[in-house]
């Protein structure tokens, strides 16, 4: 577990792992962490060996019996203390997000706060774990159900929300009595590592929460380890499907949230000014690196589309792109050079496919940050459903305008798309809004709300190929995902009275 780091890399700058309450160095395969705004390598992160992951699982397995039997109220007190420590260290965690992911500080703080809200939800675990009781379901027979933890569970999380998405998982999981192994993104590992240390400071027993940084080797080890009872995942659809099929084939409970192509319908009667303002943030906030980002605006009628595109021109002209640490900026860089090049290639493809590139962000250069991974906002008009830029998730600051003849036409486009994560409609017509919300085949719906991300006491998840599994993330579904229902029926016969054997199926008649 204490392998030597690669040559010419200072081991002090390597982000390692957190196992059994302690920092662990397994740094024989370090990967670079870059500052997206400058392109400079700032640190390295260790890729865990199979043995290191197995050590983390072993620590979680050892800690489980005692933690399982810890009263829920005591678990809740640790969550309360953890929430307090997170808030005390908010600036440090938010800075780590911006330095490694690139999103602007205000956006990083928003992510952090939404994650803390799930910790807040987990503080109510004594209430959330209350079972159901029925007296006299039969003669002198009582029955009740209770919710018991699964054991060792794991989470595999993406780069775009390095603090929030892990907090979708482990606070509720450990509050339910499970022990946890987190495999965060190797692109921005510092925020979850800071949170791991705060959990220990909050009083969480060693081994209840463990963190291993790594790549596919770490993921596959978790998926095949028989001690791991459940896996939660957020990422792209191809990987989500792999996680789901591999995990379930190995007998695990799996929730795997995949990709998205979120459409916003703009109706002719909409408040166009406010709709465009809302869509600016939804399309270009966090550089479009959100699974709930709006990447398609479906405008009903050519007049609506012409007006929307014209107003987008004006709004985009005022959008400020630069280093996320500068609070005057609206949008930062993309997370890595490889991802920047991938998104830029999609813009090239859209031009080749014949879409009208109204705003071209490919030539953006930020003074003093010429080597950063910046791509300006891009806007396509006259996009059609046969184009790859419409069909595929781009995950960057690229918005496609599609023209539809009617609300029914717009809804058909959404319903026929392979993804069903989030969608919204902008309208003043209550009947149209109600019809849309009731009939659209998407898991999360907004009415004049462009990013309908549920709050912590609801649950987050999509339909179709945006979710593999039956239960959503966080909220009530997460309590069910991280527990098993057990139903107990008991009867105490009267003393001294022998009862006859019964050979018919018992009933309460």
In a shared domain, residues 331 and 391: yes
- What's residue 12's pLDDT? 64
Does the active-site annotation cover 291? yes
Range of the structural domain that residue 159 is part of = 11-258+466-487
Domain-located, residue 219:
yes
Domain-located, residue 507:
no
Domain-located, residue 370:
yes
Least confident of 24-33, 239-248, 371-380: 24-33
Q: How many domains does the chain have?
A: 2
Least confident of 127-141, 274-288, 321-335, 378-392: 127-141
CA distance 428 to 451: 18
In a shared domain, residues 226 and 276: no
Is the pLDDT at 98 greater than 90, yes or no?
yes
Domain-located, residue 492:
no
Average pLDDT over residues 108-116: 98
> Pairing between strand 179-183 and 152-156?
parallel
CA distance 321 to 333: 8
Average pLDDT over residues 212-237: 97
Average pLDDT over residues 84-100: 98
> Pairing between strand 132-138 and 41-46?
unpaired
- What's residue 457's pLDDT? 93
- What's residue 2's pLDDT? 40
> Pairing between strand 467-468 and 253-257?
antiparallel
In a shared domain, residues 199 and 141: yes
In a shared domain, residues 73 and 151: yes
Is the pLDDT at 57 greater than 50, yes or no?
yes
CA distance 133 to 210: 35
Q: Say which CATH number the domain at 364 has.
A: 3.40.309.10
Of the candidates 123, 176, 291, 400, the residue annotated as catalytic is 291
* Distances from the Cα of 453 to the Cα of 72, 262, 304, angstroms: 28, 12, 26
Residue range 336-393, pLDDT digits in tens: 999 999 999 999 999 999 999 999 999 999 999 999 999 999 999 999 999 999 999 9
Residue range 380-398, pLDDT digits in tens: 999 999 999 999 999 999 9
- What's residue 10's pLDDT? 64
Dihedral class, residue 400 (left if φ above 0, else alpha if ψ from -120 to 50, else beta) = beta
Q: What is the DSSP letter of 285?
A: G
Mean pLDDT over the full length of the chain: 95
Q: Residue 42, Cα to own-chain centre: how many angstroms?
A: 25
In a shared domain, residues 67 and 156: yes
In a shared domain, residues 32 and 131: yes
Residue range 167-179, pLDDT digits in tens: 999 999 999 999 9
Q: Residue 436, Cα to own-chain centre: how many angstroms?
A: 25
Q: Residue 323, Cα to own-chain centre: how many angstroms?
A: 24
* Distances from the Cα of 352 to the Cα of 334, 360, 415, angstroms: 23, 14, 26
Average pLDDT over residues 251-273: 97
Model pTM?
Answer: 0.94
Is the pLDDT at 140 greater than 90, yes or no?
no
Is the pLDDT at 328 greater than 60, yes or no?
yes
Average pLDDT over residues 255-278: 97
The residue whose two tokens read 């392998």 is 3
In a shared domain, residues 249 and 341: no
Is the pLDDT at 314 greater than 60, yes or no?
yes
Domain-located, residue 497:
no
Domain-located, residue 499:
no
Greater confidence (14 vs 18) lies with: 18
Domain-located, residue 3:
no
In a shared domain, residues 383 and 327: yes
- What's residue 308's pLDDT? 98
Dihedral class, residue 330 (left if φ above 0, else alpha if ψ from -120 to 50, else beta) = alpha
Q: Are 173 and 18 in contact (CB under 8 A)?
A: no
In a shared domain, residues 360 and 426: yes
SS3 category, 129? coil
- What's residue 474's pLDDT? 95
Residue range 409-428, pLDDT digits in tens: 999 999 999 999 999 999 99
In a shared domain, residues 366 and 251: no
The residue whose two tokens read 């002198």 is 140
In a shared domain, residues 199 and 123: yes
Q: Give the Cα-Cα-Cα angle 154, 478, 135 (nearest 5 degrees).
A: 125
Q: Say which CATH number the domain at 193 has.
A: 3.40.605.10
In a shared domain, residues 233 and 282: no
- What's residue 298's pLDDT? 98
Domain-located, residue 461:
no
From the number of C-beta atoms within 10 Å of its C-beta (0-12, 13-18, 19+), residue 377 rates as buried
Is the pLDDT at 441 greater than 80, yes or no?
yes
- What's residue 1's pLDDT? 39
The residue whose two tokens read 């929730």 is 255
């Amino acid at each position: 577990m204490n392998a030597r780091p690669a040559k010419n890399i200072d081991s002090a700058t390597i982000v390692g792992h957190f196992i059994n309450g302690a920092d662990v160095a397994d740094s024989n395969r370090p990967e670079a962490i870059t500052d997206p705004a400058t392109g400079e390598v700032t640190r390295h992160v260790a890729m865990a060996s199979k043995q290191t992951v197995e050590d983390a699982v072993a620590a979680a397995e050892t800690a489980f019996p005692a933690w399982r039997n810890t009263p829920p109220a005591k678990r809740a007190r640790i969550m309360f203390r953890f929430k307090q420590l997170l808030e005390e260290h908010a600036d440090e965690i938010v800075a780590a997000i911006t330095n490694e992911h690139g999103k602007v500080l205000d956006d990083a703080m928003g992510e952090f706060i939404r994650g803390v809200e799930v910790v807040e939800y987990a503080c109510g675990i004594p209430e959330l774990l209350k079972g159901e009781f029925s007296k006299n379901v039969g003669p002198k027979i009582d029955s009740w159900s209770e919710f018991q933890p699964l054991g060792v569970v794991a989470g595999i999380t993406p780069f775009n929300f390095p603090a929030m998405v892990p907090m979708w998982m482990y606070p509720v999981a450990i509050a339910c009595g499970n022990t946890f192994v987190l495999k965060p993104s190797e692109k921005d590992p510092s925020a979850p590592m800071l949170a791991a240390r705060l959990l220990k400071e909050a009083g969480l027993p060693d081994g209840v929460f463990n963190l291993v940084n790594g790549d596919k080797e770490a993921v596959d080890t978790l998926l095949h380890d028989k001690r791991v009872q459940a896996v939660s995942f957020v990422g792209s659809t191809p990987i989500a499907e792999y996680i789901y099929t591999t995990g379930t084939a190995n007998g695990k409970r799996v929730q795997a949230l995949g990709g998205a192509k979120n459409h916003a319908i703009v109706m002719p009667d909409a408040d166009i000014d406010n709709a465009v303002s809302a869509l600016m943030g939804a399309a270009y906030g966090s550089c479009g690196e959100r699974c709930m980002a709006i990447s398609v605006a479906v405008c009903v009628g050519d007049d609506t589309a012409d007006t929307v595109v014209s107003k987008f021109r004006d709004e985009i002209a005022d959008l400020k792109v630069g280093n996320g640490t500068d609070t005057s900026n609206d949008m930062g860089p993309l997370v890595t050079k490889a991802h920047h090049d991938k998104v830029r290639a999609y813009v090239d493809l859209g031009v080749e496919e014949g879409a009208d590139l109204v705003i071209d962000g490919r030539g953006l250069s930020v003074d003093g940050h010429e080597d950063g991974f910046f791509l300006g906002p891009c806007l396509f008009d006259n996009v059609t459903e046969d184009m790859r830029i419409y069909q595929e998730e781009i995950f960057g600051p690229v918005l496609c305008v599609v023209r539809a003849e009617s609300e029914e036409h717009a809804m058909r486009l959404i319903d026929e798309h392979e993804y069903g994560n989030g969608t919204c409609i902008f309208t003043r017509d209550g009947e149209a809004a109600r019809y849309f919300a009731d009939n659209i085949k998407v898991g999360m719906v907004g009415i004049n709300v462009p990013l309908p991300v549920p709050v912590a006491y609801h649950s987050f998840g999509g339909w179709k190929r945006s979710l593999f599994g039956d239960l959503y993330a966080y909220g009530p579904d997460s309590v069910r995902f991280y527990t098993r229902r057990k139903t107990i029926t008991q009867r105490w016969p009267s003393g001294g009275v022998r009862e006859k054997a019964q050979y018919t199926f018992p009933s309460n008649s």
